[in-house]
Structure 1
Amino acid sequence: MNPHRRTTLKAATALGAAALLLTGCGAADMTQQASPYADAAGAKTVTLSVQSWVGAQADVAVAKLILERELGYRVDTVQVDEVPAWDALSQGRVDMIMEDWGHPDQEARYVKDKKTIVPAGEVGVIGHIGWWVPKYFADKHPDVTDWKNLNKYADEFKTAESGGKGQLLDGSPSYVTNDKALVNNLKLNYQVVFSGSEAAQITQIQRFAKEKKPFLTYWYKPQWLFEQVPMVEVKLPKYTDECAAKAPEAIDCEYPTTPLMKFMNARFAKKGGKAADFLKNFKWDAKQQNAVSLMIADQKMSPEAAAEKWVADNESVWKGWLPK
């Protein structure tokens, strides 16, 4: 995910977050996956972009169920990486990105300059990306939570994949992160190792925790995994707008914290009727999102089944999202 961009969230603030498993970001060829229902004039259809982290999948699953059941729409979903999703949204190949962790460059291009995309309100979740170690390790070595001491522990974080250096565990290579730049610019004796996906990263973290092994990982809040594996954040150099404005390879400060945002195709925002109004109204908090994410990622329920359960139990919440 980060999470999340998930990411180099330059002069914007952003929340950290979860992929289809609480989710990261999945690759997709939009020329093959663009829905025939996207931007279909006069049709009661909606196409939602699904990011790969489970939090975003939870957003889409719940929105899809309510759009279909309560408002009578046909909803199609398309999985696409976080940056290509902006191009797909601009071109009307999808109507909505339900959860964005901060892409100021894309926002400047499509929202401010081309005006083909419009903001559609906050998701309601505050995201934060960072580096984390397990609490059981931080309790024994409290100074590990200061980045200046990370080299002291590099040998303890080594793995077979990290080439003699400490391992910084990342998720999907498709995530836009600052980690390689941070390792280089802060002169840390670490190697960024990609697990391949959010789900694979979660599995790796759970395995480390079960064996009480030390680990350092890129991760994000909100995320249900913190309930199973308590983690403590490593403090990186303080975030500043000046740092965020640097070239990606020159970043040397922590990730920002920001409200997660929704974005909508500009034409759909004007002509999408009740569907567009509902999606603008859609807003829930981290606890609510994590409840659905946990069902998907940990309890192995399908997104549809998880959405069914949450919707059945939370009518007072989602009723308020329906257009008046």
Structure 2
Amino acid sequence: MSKTNTVIRGRAMAVSAAALLAGAALAQESTDPIKLTLHDWTGQLITTQLMGDILQEAGYNVEYVQADYLAQFAGLETGDLHVAMEMWETTGRDAMDAATATGKVENFGPTGMKAKEEWWYPTYMKEKCPGLPNWEALKDEACAEAFSTAETAPKGRYLGGPVTWGGFDDERVEALDLPFEVIHAGTDAALFAELESAYQRQAPIMLWIYAPHWAPAKYEGEWVEFPEYTAECYTDPAWGLNPDMAYDCGKPFGEIWKVGWAGVKDKWPGAYAAIQAFTIDNAEMGAMITDVDLNGKTVEAVADEWMAANEGRWKGWIGQ
């Protein structure tokens, strides 16, 4: 089925799904909108737009709903929200596990992308803190002061992501007794605007960088190497270097998952199969994020280009 100009993104489709369905099986499914959640970073907006476009091509009604990354699980459990296309192993595993344990939320499988999120610094800062990337170098007062600003001196400044992203950076600083103050960026855009500004001036900066993203490719730098993550580090204070506190380790690395309301498979079985089949890799996503954040393209335009270039692939996901 070819894409039409009548598709209106960002709201529920007004066209009856039954009129667009490619097969008799889909005609038996609900015409209610499938609600996909939108968060506050470019990659997730792209992933969600792609999934929405694919479902619309299959004849489903789609609605995009702005939602908090972690708090969205309340809506997914009740069925008020239906699909979240990116739940990162690095920051969302606990919330996802708690939700799936209720039986009301289901893990729809990996997206194919691998997540890495950690403290990151430009290579030029190693002159002032030569013990890096070993995290213990950050305990040195001179090193911490090299990363300080007027608002944090003599403590170092760590620019974390928006508070809604989680990540336990404040807890990590306390557990590892780091002479740093955590300052949270208000938005994803603000986080990377500050990196751009600091890098151009060769100014001190330590911040949350994640992949897949364009920043680790554009800028020369390294991630801090903290004690290796284990599940016990987050749940058992007795584990690790600090016997009295949890989070005395780095962040986990791993999959980026698709999750959603457990009722999707019964209400929209064809959509459920397509969501499970959806897969994309870090290289593809990194290129699309670059097109949006650096080259000025819209999320919708980037999604259109991907859909046109991968028609045979996504049509297989919807059984066409």
Normalised-by-shorter TM-score class: 0.7 to 0.9
1:223 offset after TM fit, Å?
1.3
In structure 2, which of residues 239, 250, 270 is the aligned counterpart of residue 274 of structure 1?
270
Q: What one-letter code is carried by the residue in structure 1 that aligns with 2:289?
A: S
Task: Report if the CA contact (8 A) 2:87-2:96 is conserved.
Answer: no
- Deviation of 1:36 after TM superposition, in Å, equals 11
Answering whether residue 314 of structure 2 is matched by residue 311 of structure 1, we say no
Indicate whether 1:184 and 2:174 are aligned.
Answer: yes
3-state DSSP of counterpart to 1:318: helix
Note the C-alpha offset of 1:275: 1.8
Pair 1:307–1:139, CA change in 2 (3 A): farther
Cross-structure match for 2:217 = 227
Residue of structure 1 equivalent to 2:40: 52
Please state if 1:216 is matched with 2:212.
no
In 2, Cα distance between equivalents of 1:230 and 1:322: 41
Pick 1 or 2: higher relative contact order, CA cutoff 8 A, min separation 6: 1
1:212 Cα deviation from its structure 2 partner: 1.3
Q: Give structure 1 regions of 4+ aligned residues with deviation exceeding 6 angstroms.
A: 33-37
Distance 1:222 1:72, change over 3 A: same
Mark the CA change 1:36 to 1:115 in structure 2 (over 3 Å): closer, same or farther: farther
Distance across 1 between alignment mates of 2:55 and 2:255: 24
Contact 2:75–2:81 (CA under 8 A) maintained in structure 1 = yes
The CA deviation at 1:307 is 0.5
SS in 1 for 2:177: coil
In structure 1, distance between residues paired with 2:153 and 2:12: 43
Residue equivalent to 2:54: 66
1:109 is the counterpart of 2:98 = yes
What is the TM-score with the length of structure 2 in the denominator?
0.82
Q: Does 1:136 align with 2:124?
A: yes
| Structure 1: gaps (5+ residues) | 1-32
Bigger shift: residues 94-103 or 161-170: 161-170
* Alignment match, 1:18: none
TM-aligned CA deviation for residue 142 of structure 1? 4.1
- In structure 1, which of residues 62, 82, 97 is the aligned counterpart of residue 69 of structure 2? 82
Q: Report the RMSD for the aligned CA atoms in angstroms.
A: 2.5
The separation in 1 between residues aligned to 2:107 and 2:319, in whole angstroms, is: 18
The whole-number CA distance in structure 2 between the counterparts of 1:212 and 1:126 is: 30
Kindly indicate whether the alpha-carbon contact (under 8 Å) linking 1:35 and 1:78 is maintained by their aligned counterparts in 2: no
State whether residues 116 and 253 of structure 2, in contact with CA within 8 Å, keep that contact through their aligned partners in structure 1: yes
8 Å contact from structure 1 (residues 132, 231) kept in 2: yes
Contact 1:44–1:72, Cα closer than 8 Å, also in 2: no
1:199-257 Cα offsets, whole Å, 9 max, x none, are 10000001011111221112222211122222201111122232122369631001111
Q: Identity percentage over the alignment?
A: 27
Q: How many residues align?
A: 288
* Bigger Cα Rg: 2
> Per the alignment, do residues 56 and 188 of structure 1 end up closer, same or farther by CA in structure 2, a change over 3 Å counting?
same
Could you report, residue by residue, the CA deviation over 1:94-145 in whole angstroms, capped at 9, with x for unpaired residues? 1101010143443343322x21111111010111121111123337754221
- Residue 296 of structure 1: how far off its partner (Å): 2.0
Q: TM-score if structure 1 supplies the norm length?
A: 0.81
Unaligned residue ranges in structure 2 (runs of 5+): 1-9, 18-28, 238-243
Q: Look up the match of 2:184.
A: 194
